A and B are shown apart, each in its own frame.
Chain A
């Protein structure tokens, strides 16, 4: 396995059995996968498709029934691989009686960090995830979004090369979702490898370089997002300030070349864009009704 391949699975499969060893469900059919250094890789699929099982097998939280998973060329059950990875679980499973500082300090100690480095890193991360004002509050007082943020901070405590994110945007509001996606892109810019699994298609589309689509425990599609989403026989033109005459001319040109005009219309923005514009405007001009007409109609 070359150094460029961070995760490799070879015919990795998982069957859940009952106490007597009888097969209950085949959660993952033999899966061959290679995830390269520096890419954002998405595991996509509906609930119960085997995404989380795959992540857990890669982390060594589950043992494979067949095949094997290698992380940094080490077996998934080898604890030493954890030195270089960070993991954000589906829910932020943290100790709710600790505050943000104590939480990060605890996880930093697990990486055997000396006190000075630990203090610096904890401070950096708390500021990075925007919890500076809540650093002394117990996690049980945190909102869902704040809990996710501290969860992300613990996943980054060791400045990992590989970050595994299980449903990173689940439970987040649109601002939190956007911040999470921006964070993933920033990590990518820093050269980190990110593996995320999600059933929120838009999130995956926004940040992933490559995706694997799983269904009923089976790999159905694997490739680059831009390649997979390109519709080869359809051409899209986007222009600004076209008059009605010009639009009619374009229709004629398409007809002359035996093309089929599918749609020529004023596009609408996404609800996410609209919401974020309103929030930005509200923050810029507090107490006034939002005025986002221009920006959204643009």
Chain B
């Protein structure tokens, strides 16, 4: 699970934010205040240029006071009437075609999606959810950007604005109407895609009788059989059966199968665990470098993507996760194994091949941060970039070879526990980011997780609708669409956009980048000092300021997407869902107010 931004608890996110950013609400208010001031000044200058200073001032004053009054006079019945009209219009514009396209995609998807993929669930889920996202965003874009301009073009707006309809009600009505249409589409798509994924990935096997071998205990008594299943859907499983012939087809391709006895046959049932919603609890990651000095990050192995940093093998370099609120309540016990369930993702970086056919080995060690008591190391073989789910045994030996209880002896008095990971092979490296180790809480419902992912698609759709409707209050249909598309595209690449604006990306601003392009200079080469470079960088300063201002209101679509959570089998945290819904509400409120003023100051009959 890649999580570049830490998911803060909702209220912390809303009020105070993280160490490097302010809370969402103060940020929203600051931006709203800044934009209002900018709008006021701009509005005054435009009005003053057209009607003179006094009348211009009067117009701006009246527009604002009327705006506040009309906001208070908003009628839900009128908004609902306009929303119903928008829904009828969407229906007339054959919005149902989107569903037909969706079904065609589902019908033919099985032809192209490889079921021999190591993680077919990831492939299917990410495909279906990504297709839904783009389809719904496309429909939202077309509906919202062309609706009001069509009203202007057909002059049907004349019969609306000559009724006691407030401009804000027109904007809200459209947004609500299209949102409802999109919600219905999403509901249908959500149900169909869930059934599609479940049905496509469901399969069974047969126990290969010839492969079964008897297993005896130390006393020579028959206790069961080991064997394998038949090969179906490009894979097979190892089988463990008890003396009664019941058991399990062991985990392979991300799932297991229960085996039951029917008559004299052992029957393999449907797959379990194809869709999961792991609930992780993340800790804080710090490092120790090869000389044993504590560091905030590990070393770089030259990757441009700095998400993970690395520890070098066979040195003192260690990745240390500190978890808090550890208690025996987290213990997993199925009678055979008892301990703390964890998930570990290791990114392996090799400087040499190592032993062919063998993974790189590492070690896990738990430590009490208060007493310094450390367990003996638990060796493991890294599954590169895959989730290694394991249980740290409750009974552990310490470095003094005495047996200790995990919760009693390795957890500090304030509930903290350290888990340390090292790479044991010289010349090889393990790369980690903070979310790469987590404590595994009991899985959540995959169906509920599916709903949460659709909620995040819904949030993106509503934001696109709000942008489209607002743009269409001022612009013609195609221009409003282009504007909204630009917003979406920039929104998907927001971190890069902000990076360019802040000067942290290579290659400079837009002008410098263009200059490098035409002079065939790569992004690293330093430009010759002189007037041209000074001029280019001066103009870029202006562009960068504008970009930085724009970035403040640019929705981060990539961060809003939770497709990766479902695809990788992680539960979408409730905090994230509430944060996304709040962001959506902020956009709808802000854009509705902007749309109101744009529509109110527009000559309808022009």
Contacting residues of chain B (51-107) with chain A, CB-CB under 8 angstroms: 66, 70, 73, 75, 77-78, 80-82, 84-85, 88-89, 92
Q: In the complex, A40 Cα to B316 Cα: how many Å? A: 97
Q: In the complex, A110 Cα to B157 Cα: how many Å? A: 13
Q: In the complex, A106 Cα to B603 Cα: how many Å? A: 23
Encode contact with B along A71-101: 1 for CB under 8 Å, 0 otherwise.
0000001111011010101010111011000
Q: Are A109 and B80 in contact (CB under 8 A)?
A: yes
Cross-chain contact of B88 among A21, A79, A82, A97 (Cβ < 8 A): A97
Contacting residues of chain B (290-309) with chain A, CB-CB under 8 angstroms: none
Give chain B residues whose Cβ lies under 8 Å from the Cβ of A85.
Answer: 162
Q: Are A82 and B162 in contact (CB under 8 A)?
A: yes
Give chain A residues whose Cβ lies under 8 Å from the Cβ of B166.
Answer: 79
Encode contact with A along B149-160: 1 for CB under 8 Å, 0 otherwise.
000001111111
Q: Are B164 and A82 in contact (CB under 8 A)?
A: yes
Q: Are B164 and A95 in contact (CB under 8 A)?
A: no
Give chain A residues whose Cβ lies under 8 Å from the Cβ of B66.
Answer: 77-78
Contacting residues of chain B (216-271) with chain A, CB-CB under 8 angstroms: none
A59-B162 CB under 8 A given contacts A21-B50, A91-B155: yes
Nearest Cβ on chain B to A219's Cβ, whole angstroms: 21
A56-B92 CB under 8 A given contacts A82-B162, A112-B75: no
Interface centre among A59, A61, A85 (most CB of B within 10 A): A61
Considering only CB atoms, which chain A residue lies closest to B161 in the complex?
A61
- Interface size range of chain A in the complex: 20 to 34
Encode contact with A along B567-584: 1 for CB under 8 Å, 0 otherwise.
000000000000000000
Q: Are B605 and A61 in contact (CB under 8 A)?
A: yes
Q: In the complex, A91 Cα to B155 Cα: how many Å? A: 9
Encode contact with A along B587-606: 1 for CB under 8 Å, 0 otherwise.
00000000000000001111
Encode contact with B along A101-121: 1 for CB under 8 Å, 0 otherwise.
010001101111000000000
Q: In the complex, A48 Cα to B165 Cα: how many Å? A: 29
User: Is residue B163 within 8 Å, beta carbon to beta carbon, of the partner chain?
Assistant: yes
Q: In the complex, A87 Cα to B88 Cα: how many Å? A: 24
Q: Are B164 and A109 in contact (CB under 8 A)?
A: no
Q: Are B88 and A109 in contact (CB under 8 A)?
A: no
Give chain B residues whose Cβ lies under 8 Å from the Cβ of A97.
Answer: 88-89, 92
A93-B50 CB under 8 A given contacts A56-B605, A109-B80: no
Q: In the complex, A60 Cα to B92 Cα: how many Å? A: 30
Cross-chain contact of B81 among A62, A87, A94, A110 (Cβ < 8 A): A110
Q: Are A109 and B81 in contact (CB under 8 A)?
A: yes
User: Is residue A142 within 8 Å, beta carbon to beta carbon, of the partner chain?
Assistant: no
Q: In the complex, A158 Cα to B78 Cα: how many Å? A: 14
Cross-chain contact of A83 among B80, B89, B160, B164 (Cβ < 8 A): B164
Cross-chain contact of A93 among B92, B154, B164 (Cβ < 8 A): B154
Q: Are A79 and B70 in contact (CB under 8 A)?
A: yes
| A/B pair count, beta carbons within 8 Å | 80
Contacting residues of chain B (157-216) with chain A, CB-CB under 8 angstroms: 157-166
A106-B156 CB under 8 A given contacts A56-B605, A61-B161, A112-B75: no
Nearest Cβ on chain A to B69's Cβ, whole angstroms: 9
Q: Are B603 and A93 in contact (CB under 8 A)?
A: no
Q: In the complex, A227 Cα to B606 Cα: how many Å? A: 37
Considering only CB atoms, which chain A residue lies closest to B49 in the complex?
A21
Q: In the complex, A98 Cα to B156 Cα: how many Å? A: 12
Q: Are B605 and A62 in contact (CB under 8 A)?
A: yes
Q: Are A110 and B50 in contact (CB under 8 A)?
A: no
Q: In the complex, A154 Cα to B162 Cα: how many Å? A: 11
Interface centre among B50, B75, B84, B155 (most CB of A within 10 A): B155
Give chain A residues whose Cβ lies under 8 Å from the Cβ of B77.
Answer: 109, 112
Cross-chain contact of A111 among B73, B155, B163, B605 (Cβ < 8 A): B163
Q: Are B78 and A61 in contact (CB under 8 A)?
A: no
Q: Are B605 and A98 in contact (CB under 8 A)?
A: no
Give chain B residues whose Cβ lies under 8 Å from the Cβ of A107.
Answer: 159, 163
Q: In the complex, A79 Cα to B70 Cα: how many Å? A: 9
A94-B159 CB under 8 A given contacts A56-B605, A79-B70, A109-B78: yes
Nearest Cβ on chain B to A287's Cβ, whole angstroms: 41
Q: In the complex, A111 Cα to B160 Cα: how many Å? A: 10
Cross-chain contact of B78 among A78, A98, A110 (Cβ < 8 A): A110
Nearest Cβ on chain B to A185's Cβ, whole angstroms: 23
Give chain B residues whose Cβ lies under 8 Å from the Cβ of A78.
Answer: 66
Q: Are B161 and A94 in contact (CB under 8 A)?
A: no
Q: In the complex, A1 Cα to B113 Cα: how many Å? A: 76
Give chain B residues whose Cβ lies under 8 Å from the Cβ of A112.
Answer: 75, 77-78, 164
Q: Are A94 and B163 in contact (CB under 8 A)?
A: no
Q: In the complex, A105 Cα to B77 Cα: how many Å? A: 12
Give chain B residues whose Cβ lies under 8 Å from the Cβ of A61.
Answer: 158, 161-162, 603-605
Cross-chain contact of A79 among B89, B155, B165 (Cβ < 8 A): B165
Give chain A residues whose Cβ lies under 8 Å from the Cβ of B49.
Answer: 21
Q: In the complex, A63 Cα to B605 Cα: how many Å? A: 9
Encode contact with A along B131-165: 1 for CB under 8 Å, 0 otherwise.
00000000000000000000000111111111111
Q: In the complex, A89 Cα to B155 Cα: how many Å? A: 9
Nearest Cβ on chain A to B584's Cβ, whole angstroms: 27
Give chain A residues whose Cβ lies under 8 Å from the Cβ of B92.
Answer: 97
Q: In the complex, A94 Cα to B155 Cα: how many Å? A: 8
Give chain B residues whose Cβ lies under 8 Å from the Cβ of A110.
Answer: 78, 81-82, 160, 163-165
A93-B162 CB under 8 A given contacts A106-B81, A110-B81: no
Give chain B residues whose Cβ lies under 8 Å from the Cβ of A158.
Answer: 163
Q: Are A106 and B70 in contact (CB under 8 A)?
A: no
Interface centre among B81, B89, B159, B603 (most CB of A within 10 A): B159
Give chain A residues whose Cβ lies under 8 Å from the Cβ of B158.
Answer: 61, 87, 89, 93
Give chain A residues whose Cβ lies under 8 Å from the Cβ of B604.
Answer: 61-62
Considering only CB atoms, which chain B residue lies closest to A85 in the complex?
B162
Nearest Cβ on chain A to B577's Cβ, whole angstroms: 34
Contacting residues of chain A (260-279) with chain B, CB-CB under 8 angstroms: none
Q: Are A98 and B155 in contact (CB under 8 A)?
A: no
Q: Are B605 and A79 in contact (CB under 8 A)?
A: no
Q: Are B606 and A82 in contact (CB under 8 A)?
A: no
Considering only CB atoms, which chain B residue lies closest to A17 in the complex?
B50
Given contacts A87-B159, A95-B88, 5 further A-B contacts (CB under 8 A): A79-B70, A82-B164, A82-B165, A87-B158, A110-B163
Q: List 22 A-B contacts (CB under 8 A).
A: A21-B49, A56-B605, A61-B158, A61-B162, A62-B606, A80-B164, A82-B162, A82-B165, A85-B162, A91-B155, A93-B157, A94-B156, A95-B88, A98-B88, A106-B81, A109-B81, A110-B78, A110-B164, A110-B165, A111-B164, A112-B78, A158-B163
Give residues in B with beta carbon < 8 Å to A: 49-50, 66, 70, 73, 75, 77-78, 80-82, 84-85, 88-89, 92, 154-166, 603-606
Q: Which 5 A/B pairs are nearest by Cβ-Cβ distance?
A: A109-B81, A61-B605, A110-B163, A93-B155, A87-B162
